[in-house]
Structure 1
Amino acid sequence: MVALLFLVVWELTDDHPVVDLSLFKSRNFTIGCLCISLAYMLYFGAIVLLPQLLQEVYGYTATWAGLASAPVGLIPVLLSPIIGKFGNRLDMRRLVTFSFIMYAVCFYWRAYTFEPGMDFGASAWPQFVQGFAIACFFMPLTTITLSGLPPERMAAASSLSNFTRTLAGSIGTSITTTLWTQRESQHHSQLTEFVNPYNPQSQEMYRQLEQLGMSKQQASAYIANEITAQGLIISANEIFWLSAGVFLVLLALVWVAKPPFSSGGGGGGGAH
């Protein structure tokens, strides 16, 4: 952290900075970087979380977990060329707004439908619908980020924007996995409190498992595994809820960007 602070001070005061932090003086560049970084952080965190959840809790193989995640790439393949051709006729903020709404819908969808008995479609369909969000995400936000900058600063702006996005993806992965395991531990402790000799439901569960041929130790191990699975699902759903809420906040933030939007031109944000 100290080294990072020294880097910021150095780059702000140097005549020929390696990282041109003065780009953040541009409103559109700052808003674009912030939106694309936060959104990518949440998106990439979910990419890492979903296969782990499907394999650890639902017993999916790596192949089936990949198949459940794969539908997210279908829609962008079809829509991206169309958006690239006709997107300049629309306000980029509208496309990004649609994208963030779809992201929020998909994350809320997961938070509602992810439960112990869910089937393959419950994980695959939100991924498919999220493809609409991805198709309207990268190109419009990149255009907003680079709008209003002179041509000679495009390379530096593009590099810095890509760096912040990549850094955000790495941070998102770390935060998501850490939050998932920590919240699982808390939920595991809370759920375990209900398994005791004084809880009739707990004793009834033991009785039913013993009738199925399990010993006391086997029943305890089975219940412990179920509690762990429940904790992982609950903590994942909390992350989905939180991610959806952040996307709703980003909806308002993107409208702070100032049109016209173009990826080149002079200081006034000239035309293509």
Structure 2
Amino acid sequence: MRSHALRTFVVTGIALFMVTLDNLIVTNALPAIRADLGTGLEGLEWTVNAYTLTFAVLLLPAAAVADRHGRRRLFMIGLALFTLASAAAALAPGIGVLIAARAVQGVGGAILAPLTLTLLAHAVPPARRAAALAAWSVMSGLGVALGPVVGGAVTEYATWEWIFWINVPAGLLVLALAPRFLTESRGPAQRLDPIGTVLVTLGLLGVVLGLVRGNEHGWTSAQVLLPAVAGLALLVAFVVHEARTPHPMLPLSLFRSRGFSVLNLISLAMSFGMFGVTFVLIQFLQMIGHMSPLEAGVRTLPWTAMPLLVAPLTAPLASRLGTRTVITLALLFQAGGLAWLAAYIAPTFDYADLVPGFVLAGTGMGLFFAPVTRLVLSSAPAAQTGVASGISNISRQLGTVLGVAVLGAIFSATGDMTTPHHFATGVTTVLWTAVAILTAAAITALAIPRNPAPAAQSPSQPAPASTTPSPQLPSPESVTTT
């Protein structure tokens, strides 16, 4: 059994590392992509958001399909999609093909991410599942922390295409090992919600399209208003559909819990502020700070690697101060870190002045995820903890999508990439906007109940397919950091 668990960890760990690495690996390659493919800010935004958007909206449907048709089978399909899309991204002759390939990568990632932990938990005896979760979390954290560094190193010493090519041999290796190393398993067969999936996907696409194109085409132009209004209408239709269908992908009954609603709102706000800022800040460090891609990746490690160091402190701090207090402090640390950066960002700056801001922001991120996860799970009925943690991760992913779109629009409205002064002005405005969002989230966090009660499950709505194999082990979405 132990050797089987180890083989499962090897396969799922490599796949998880690939998926989490691709969340941030593209950030340090964006200036090179912009120069090579001749695109503008809108194309770069979609290079990031195409991956995150499909990843977010397909997490829950993918887990339900895997429970019905076989987790190992879906794992291999997701891995094949991810690998093929990586090759397509590397071969992209233009920005449109790159964006399409990134969207398919997100589909593969949405299938893989939940299944890496589900398959691992199925292979590990209950007594060893805590250790399995710790190892899984380390792989996820390493992927996030090393994403900018790996992306910077590959872009600097090869070309930006190789940030995608490196997925291909790893993907082929895992595809060869999976049939022998993984055991097939299934979960309770649940009805799917294809109408809800289509409505939310097209709705978010329309809203984000409007936000991204607003500054270029004018906020009152048909090219902006039509997709934005259509997107909002589809999102309203999605909510109405979810309230009426007996098998929703997003059970609205969970939001009857004040704690659950507030936690998802502040998770969205946190990702909006932190990851939306990353999009413009990395480009500023390279283009105005004259850092190489690798140098920019290494110099942001005080930010991206800090969560790995701080995460072990969350449990003792929560037991001493209370979970709500730790979450509030985490958001204030993040707001303080970005405020520090905003104060020192200028056309000419000293990197040493930015380090305290990076450390503060990274510390806040490290203190945020685990306490939020625990409260999300305690705010949901036991039968719905899997879908509840999935919704929590979707909130964070959608926060990233909206952060890149909205903060990108604010950057375009207040600055541009033509001169150091204009670039610094735009980045500073973006940072102060994110500070305001994170501060508001910290204040909102005070509304989290001290002892959140789970929302009552509607008797007319059966529990959706859970992505957790055991109540002793939280779902994978609950500990994914980005």
User: What is the correspondence of 1:216-231 to structure 2 with a 5 Å cutoff?
Assistant: 228-231=419-422
- TM-score for both structures, normalised by structure 2: 0.44
Matched, 1:134 2:365: yes
Is the 2:275–2:403 contact (alpha carbons within 8 Å) kept by the matching residues of 1?
yes
The residue type paired with residue 244 of structure 1 is V
Q: How many residues are treated as equivalent by the alignment?
A: 226
Matched, 1:93 2:355: no
Q: In the alignment, which residue of structure 2 is the partner of 1:243? A: 434
Give 1:120 shift. Answer: 2.0
Matched, 1:172 2:363: no
Give 1:85 shift. Answer: 5.4
Quick one: distance in 2 between partners of 1:182 and 1:266?
42
Correspondence for 1:154 among 385, 393, 415: 385
In structure 1, stretches of 5+ residues that fail to align are: 189-224
CA deviations 1:168-187 (Å, max 9, x no partner) are: 111111222222122115xx
Give 1:20 shift. Answer: 0.9
The root-mean-square deviation of aligned C-alpha atoms, in Å, is: 2.3
Matched, 1:82 2:313: yes
Q: In the alignment, which residue of structure 1 is the partner of 2:19? A: none
Give 1:239 shift. Answer: 1.4
Q: In the alignment, which residue of structure 2 is the partner of 1:18? A: 249
| Larger RCO: 1 or 2 (CA < 8 Å, sep 6+) | 1
Give 1:158 shift. Answer: 1.1
Matched, 1:258 2:449: yes
Quick one: distance in 2 between partners of 1:171 and 1:58?
26
Correspondence for 1:41 among 272, 277, 290: 272
The residue type paired with residue 256 of structure 1 is A
Quick one: distance in 2 between partners of 1:162 and 1:74?
20
Give 1:245 shift. Answer: 1.8
Matched, 1:234 2:425: yes
* Structure whose alpha-carbon radius of gyration is higher: 1
Matched, 1:63 2:294: yes
Q: In the alignment, which residue of structure 1 is the partner of 2:260? A: 29
Quick one: distance in 1 between partners of 2:246 and 2:293?
51
Give 1:261 shift. Answer: 4.9
Q: In the alignment, which residue of structure 1 is the partner of 2:194? A: none
Quick one: distance in 1 between partners of 2:343 and 2:455?
48
CA deviations 1:31-83 (Å, max 9, x no partner) are: 00000111111110122121111112222111111122111134322221232
Q: In the alignment, which residue of structure 2 is the partner of 1:163? A: 394
Quick one: distance in 1 between partners of 2:407 and 2:259?
28
Q: In the alignment, which residue of structure 2 is the partner of 1:106? A: 337
Seq. identity, %: 23
- TM-score for both structures, normalised by structure 1: 0.76
* SS across alignment from 1:83: helix
